[in-house]
Amino acid sequence: MTRKFFGTDGVRGTANIYPMTADMALRIGAAAGRYFRNDGSNGHRVVIGKDTRLSGYMFENALTAGLTSTGMNVLLLGPVPTPAVGLLTTSMRADVGIMISASHNPHHDNGIKFFGPDGFKLSDEAETQIEALIQSDIEPAKAVNIGRAKRIDDGRFRYAERLKATFPTGMRLDGLKVVIDCANGAAYRVAPEVLWELGATVIKVGVDPDGFNINDGCGSTHPERAAQVIRETGADVGICLDGDADRVMILDETGSVADGDQIMALMAARWADKGRLQGDTLVATVMSNLGLERFLATKGLHLHRTKVGDRYVVEAMRAGGFNLGGEQSGHIVMTDYATTGDGLLAGLQFLAAMIDTGQKASALTRSFDTVPQMLKNVRFAAGTDPLGARAVAASIADAETKLAGKGRLLIRKSGTEPLIRVMAECEDNHLLAEVVDQIVAEVTAAV
């Protein structure tokens, strides 16, 4: 069955435009309730978290109505990071967790992400079955079996305590000046609190959400503001989260940005030295830089690549028994501690590395030299397949021949937008631009 609603990370789109409407959220909630409450009992629970978008109120209420109509009991966490939902789904013995967020997208978008009872994101198969229920006649619960809803006021505190428990025992952040940019998103309270409780001098950015300013000129996708604050205050390091705090970018004392690849390189090397890196393998996507792969090889470590999406990284980690993975975009997954990407957790582990080694952030954020990478997107009309055009296929084959032994090429459809993504890596910048522009031209002509 073709997936109509679910993309690479749940259901996502512009609020109040199909499929991200209140009535659709109600149906999604009812379908999820029917899927998970499959024995007719009244003991089933779902936890719901959200970020700070204005539309979060609408979707929270609509989902609650749909879930309770099929007999699910709803526990409302309010604004919490996505990894907190994964954690609390298991700790509160819920059957399903739901996060209302469009992650790094602007405020007018929103999304609905699902976690299973084990705290991990749902499989494609489970989402496909929920899709089938959305498009069917969903049987409501009998009046006597309608579910209840309850506010949980201490969700973020439970998450904070779990985060602090992952920090090395006895280690403190005293004397460390940290800029934390919360993107006016879900971590706007918990992230500064955790850092302060561990002893850091905290300089806050992006902690004044108004429903519209999430990810707006701040956070992991716009680290320029935090970089300026670092330079103005003489801070030691910056941690930039995205709207739901499952991504992170690390900024050094000069304001320079380290992406997920550099963070993973540091962690993989440190964990391998301590015998902690399971299978001597890091799991990352096809988007991770070739420089990361080469760096790991010098350490005798392996890079296992997956298709784009942190859920696919996690699936590969679980299948292979690996405990470290992530994406260049800043999802860092450490399954020793969490079931999904956790930006604040990764930030804390980076701070621990600074304390442990006594080195500045700049010394820890440049594990390898990146291979020049170019990415261009071409928008295409629904129902068309530009990659099926003969001229496009010939152009791709020609580019692969030119790059053989010199770099790599990746052509793919976006999982969230009608875009063809054309990416190449090569030390020869002229050749890099030549092959990317050649393919983009042919794809553009075919759309």
> Residue 235: what are its φ and ψ, rounded to 5°?
-65, 155
The label of the residue with tokens 């021949």 reads 401
**What is the end-to-end Cα distance of the chain in Å, rounded?**
26
Give the Cα separation of 52 and 102 in Å (integer).
10
Number of other CB atoms surrounding residue 238 within 10 Å = 29
Within 8 A by CB and 6+ apart from 79, the residues are 49, 50, 51, 52, 56, 156, 186, 188, 189, 209
Q: Which is nearest to 262 in space by CA: 390, 362, 384?
A: 362
Q: What one-character-per-residue DSSP string does 383-445 give? A: T--GGGSHHHHHHHHHHHHHHTTTEEEEEEE-SSSSEEEEEEEES-HHHHHHHHHHHHHHHHH
Question: 220 catalytic, yes or no?
Answer: no
Angle, helices 22-36 vs 55-69, to 10°: value is 40
> Among residues 235, 296, 284, 248, which one has the least CA distance to residue 410?
284
Residue of 103, 220, 329, 395 marked catalytic: 103
The values of phi and psi at residue 406, to 5°, are -115, -20
Residue whose C-alpha is closest to residue 149's, from 84, 63, 85, 59: 63
Going 48 to 49 to 50 to 56, the CA torsion angle's sign is positive
What are residue 117's phi and psi, to 5 degrees? -65, -15
Active site residues: 103
